[in-house]
Chain A
Amino acid sequence: MQAVLKRVDRPVAIAFGFIVVLLLAGSLYSSSFLSANYLLQQLQVAAFLGLIASGVMLVILLGHIDLSIPWLVTVGGMMSTAAAGWWGPEWAIPFGVFCGLVFGIINGLGVAILRVPSMIFTLGINAVAQGIMVLHTGGFAPQDHATELMHWLAVERVLLGIPNAVFIWALLGCAIVVMLQRTPLGRYIYAIGNREGATYLSGVNTKLIIITCFAISGMCSALAGVLLAGYSNKGYQAMGDPYLLPAIAAVVLGGTHILGGRGTYLGTVAGVVLISLLASILSVMQMPEAGRQIIYGCVIVGMLMVYGRGQKVLG
């Protein structure tokens, strides 16, 4: 038991504890909060955020940040539906994810080779992606309906009533956990987050690692966009806008250090569930948007005060 407790670090434990508190508080309001159906519904919505947060987490572990999320999600959604119109439905998902990959690689090149701060380079890529999407929709009217497969992946529940989107998230999550814990790549990611210069001197191709992480982040965002397009049955502009801040907040609430080098995937899962659950409970309680935003911000600051504080400067 103690061995298990030791492996789960404090932030993760507190985040999961807060989820339980949220559920109990919600159940006082309405008993439906503890029903399996409601919880599965929450997981389904959380899955989209979870996919995005997975990629963002890798980038944050490096000590970088990816602000191109909003429009890479949109690229994924819009390009997949467009590809279905151009070449047939079987191209939709691969092409959507591929576009995310391309933008992700450009992000990585800018950060790793040109050494532009990631905060500002990804911001630029976000603007470029937006420009391309505006051009894409304005020039001609593409097919913007999701294919059946996309809809099936995002909405249907095949096994035990668990939404398919949750399986996709679980699959991706397992892959990332294995990568972080069991492969050299994962170790290098943590090492770069701690000290890039030292990692480089140890003979690691740090540029390649950085580019890989940004590429994965781009793919994750685009994949989430593909599923979101399937969920709402169409790809549309600015569909990714509500996801940037929650994704970063989820990663950080899960105990990943914003300056890189520390963090677990389990924590990110906890953060994603926490954020989705909080949003959902507040909306069920019919809290107006203003109150929701205020509570949301206070919860982030409050939780980080408990476990995310930095060291005192001592020279």
Chain B
Amino acid sequence: MKAADWKLRTSQGQGLLIAIAVFLLMFTLYVGNHPAGLTVPVATTAANKAVLLALVAMAQTLPVLTGGLDLSVGMVFVMTNCLASSIVSGEPWQVALGIVVVLLAGALAGFINGAIVVYGRLQPIITTLATGAVYYGIALLLRPVPGGDVQPDLADFMTYTVFEVVPTSLVLLLAVVLIIWLPFRHSVVGRGCYAVGSAEGAAYMSGVAIDRSRLAAFTLAGLLAGVAGLMLTFVTFSGEASASIGGTYTLNSIAAVVIGGTSLYGGAGGAIGSIFGAFILRTIDDLLFVFDLPPLWQPLFQGVVLLGAVSLGAARVFRIKNRLELFN
């Protein structure tokens, strides 16, 4: 690759690089101050929590790339969790079938979002606000009270380690990146998502299939939220239709996407950044724990860090020479 090419790529991936650096710094701080140090159990617990948010954040990334937003990811996450707690148990073939059904349900929820946005021509924010309520209602139908069950051996395997070294959840995340995200990113439809996000009109005039790209982005978001919901079931061994879990994950996913360097205006960024954004958010919580901050101060500290992190992008404002660029 030519030098200029490298320069372009690093400047485009600036947000991602910063996110990785911040995460490494924070994680070193965490491990360094953890009484047990970097042991496999410590890493596994941290990974299990972080992967849940990372998957939801990846889901959120796709609609954001197209210039939209999916306020229903958290609710799809909760809905698939409730579904998985009902059907992922029993004989191996039943478990396998259950997993497929859960993932399909997630994808279908995403597809409905996309269809309303594309063919109904409604704004993504308000569409997903409404469908989020519907998915939450379905979750409540499936599981009026918390409970349910999941195949225990599989759940244990998914939440422990592979070869007693690498947390399985991290392997799952890597697999999702390799099997879903990277091929999608480099496909015609995936590039179309970036094109739609940066200039919809121009993309349309250049013959990009903008409808198909949008639809694919939302469907894939639903699928990824479904993977996260399945993983949550493995972690908690149960399903719970909780509006607060859904809401928290939706909001944190947006924050993770922004911290990971994806522009909320669409067209720039990627799911890898969001993974690190999610890791950063989770490590903040863990840091509070190791540094023994008084519990009462924790929410405020989290809020201030979140506000600070999302305001980092404001540095751009002070570099701009032509004030009119502010309005772009």
Segment of B20-28, B99-107, B154-162, B298-306 engaged in the interface with chain A = B298-306
Interface-centre pick from A110, A123, A252, A259 (highest chain B CB count, 10 A): A123
What residues of B have a CB within 8 angstroms of the CB of A248 in the complex? 126, 129
Closest chain B residue to A290 by CB distance? B140
What residues of B have a CB within 8 angstroms of the CB of A116 in the complex? 310-311, 313-314
**Given A113-B317, A305-B122, are A297 and B299 also a contact pair (CB < 8 Å)?**
no
Size band of the interface chain B makes with A: 35 or more
Closest chain B residue to A201 by CB distance? B324
- At the interface, yes or no: B178 with Cβ under 8 Å from chain A? no
Partner of B307, one of A128, A196, A296: A128
- At the interface, yes or no: A115 with Cβ under 8 Å from chain B? yes
What residues of B have a CB within 8 angstroms of the CB of A126 in the complex? 303
**Given A128-B307, A294-B134, A309-B121, are A134 and B210 also a contact pair (CB < 8 Å)?**
no
**Given A119-B264, A305-B122, are A300 and B296 also a contact pair (CB < 8 Å)?**
no
A113 to B327 Cα, complex, angstroms: 12
A134 to B300 Cα, complex, angstroms: 8
Q: Assess the B311–A290 pair: CB atoms within 8 A.
A: no
Write the nearest CB–CB distance from B284 to chain A, whole angstroms: 11
Partner of B264, one of A117, A128, A132: A117
Q: Mark A276-315, 1 if CB is under 8 A from B, else 0.
A: 0000000000001111111111101100110011111111
What residues of B have a CB within 8 angstroms of the CB of A124 in the complex? 255, 303, 306-307, 310-311
Q: Assess the B204–A293 pair: CB atoms within 8 A.
A: no
Q: Assess the A249–B130 pair: CB atoms within 8 A.
A: yes
**Given A259-B123, A297-B137, are A135 and B296 also a contact pair (CB < 8 Å)?**
yes
What residues of B have a CB within 8 angstroms of the CB of A110 in the complex? 311, 314
What residues of A have a CB within 8 angstroms of the CB of B127 in the complex? 301, 304
What residues of A have a CB within 8 angstroms of the CB of B311 in the complex? 110, 114, 116, 121, 124
- At the interface, yes or no: A178 with Cβ under 8 Å from chain B? no
**Given A117-B265, A124-B307, are A301 and B120 also a contact pair (CB < 8 Å)?**
yes
A116 to B129 Cα, complex, angstroms: 22
Q: Assess the B123–A128 pair: CB atoms within 8 A.
A: no
Closest chain A residue to B300 by CB distance? A131
A234 to B4 Cα, complex, angstroms: 63
Interface-centre pick from B127, B130, B264, B304 (highest chain A CB count, 10 A): B130
Partner of B300, one of A135, A258, A298: A135
Partner of A139, one of B296, B301, B328: B296
A296 to B122 Cα, complex, angstroms: 17
What residues of B have a CB within 8 angstroms of the CB of A201 in the complex? 324
Write the nearest CB–CB distance from B114 to chain A, whole angstroms: 13
- At the interface, yes or no: B227 with Cβ under 8 Å from chain A? no
A245 to B304 Cα, complex, angstroms: 24
- At the interface, yes or no: A72 with Cβ under 8 Å from chain B? no
- At the interface, yes or no: B1 with Cβ under 8 Å from chain A? no
Closest chain B residue to A138 by CB distance? B296
- At the interface, yes or no: A127 with Cβ under 8 Å from chain B? yes
Q: Assess the A296–B133 pair: CB atoms within 8 A.
A: yes
What residues of A have a CB within 8 angstroms of the CB of B297 in the complex? 131, 135
Partner of B302, one of A131, A259, A289, A313: A131
Q: Mark B115-153, 1 if CB is under 8 A from A, else 0.
A: 010001111011101111110111111001000000000
What residues of B have a CB within 8 angstroms of the CB of A293 in the complex? 133-134, 136-137, 140
**Given A116-B311, A294-B133, are A123 and B255 also a contact pair (CB < 8 Å)?**
yes
Write the nearest CB–CB distance from B302 to chain A, whole angstroms: 6
- At the interface, yes or no: B200 with Cβ under 8 Å from chain A? yes
What residues of B have a CB within 8 angstroms of the CB of A272 in the complex? none
Q: Assess the B204–A315 pair: CB atoms within 8 A.
A: yes
Identify whether the interface residues of A are mostly helix, strand, loop, or mixed. Answer: helix
Interface hits, B271-305 → A, CB 8 Å: 295-304
Q: Assess the A131–B120 pair: CB atoms within 8 A.
A: no
Closest chain A residue to B324 by CB distance? A197
A304 to B125 Cα, complex, angstroms: 12
**Given A127-B302, A197-B327, are A290 and B137 also a contact pair (CB < 8 Å)?**
yes
Write the nearest CB–CB distance from B68 to chain A, whole angstroms: 11
Write the nearest CB–CB distance from B327 to chain A, whole angstroms: 4
What residues of B have a CB within 8 angstroms of the CB of A264 in the complex? none
A132 to B301 Cα, complex, angstroms: 9
Q: Assess the B303–A290 pair: CB atoms within 8 A.
A: no
Interface hits, A98-144 → B, CB 8 Å: 110, 113-117, 119-121, 123-132, 134-135, 138-139
- At the interface, yes or no: B232 with Cβ under 8 Å from chain A? no
What residues of A have a CB within 8 angstroms of the CB of B313 in the complex? 116
Q: Assess the A134–B296 pair: CB atoms within 8 A.
A: yes
A79 to B120 Cα, complex, angstroms: 43
**Given A127-B306, A245-B133, A290-B141, are A305 and B255 also a contact pair (CB < 8 Å)?**
no
A216 to B125 Cα, complex, angstroms: 23
- At the interface, yes or no: A65 with Cβ under 8 Å from chain B? yes
Across chains A and B, which 3 residue pairs bring their CB atoms closest together, nearest first? A131-B300, A293-B137, A127-B303
Task: Offer 10 A-B interface pairs, CB within 8 angstroms, sorted by A.
Answer: A110-B311, A127-B299, A131-B301, A135-B297, A200-B327, A292-B137, A293-B136, A297-B134, A308-B126, A311-B121
Interface residues of B (CB under 8 A from A): 69, 116, 120-123, 125-127, 129-134, 136-141, 144, 200-202, 204-205, 210, 244, 251, 254-255, 258, 264-265, 295-304, 306-307, 310-311, 313-314, 316-317, 323-324, 326-328
Interface residues of A (CB under 8 A from B): 65, 67, 110, 113-117, 119-121, 123-132, 134-135, 138-139, 196-197, 200-201, 241, 245, 248-249, 252, 258-259, 288-298, 300-301, 304-305, 308-315
Other contacts beyond A249-B126, A304-B126: 15, CB < 8 A: A115-B326, A120-B258, A124-B255, A128-B304, A139-B296, A197-B324, A200-B327, A290-B137, A291-B137, A294-B137, A297-B130, A305-B122, A312-B121, A314-B204, A315-B204
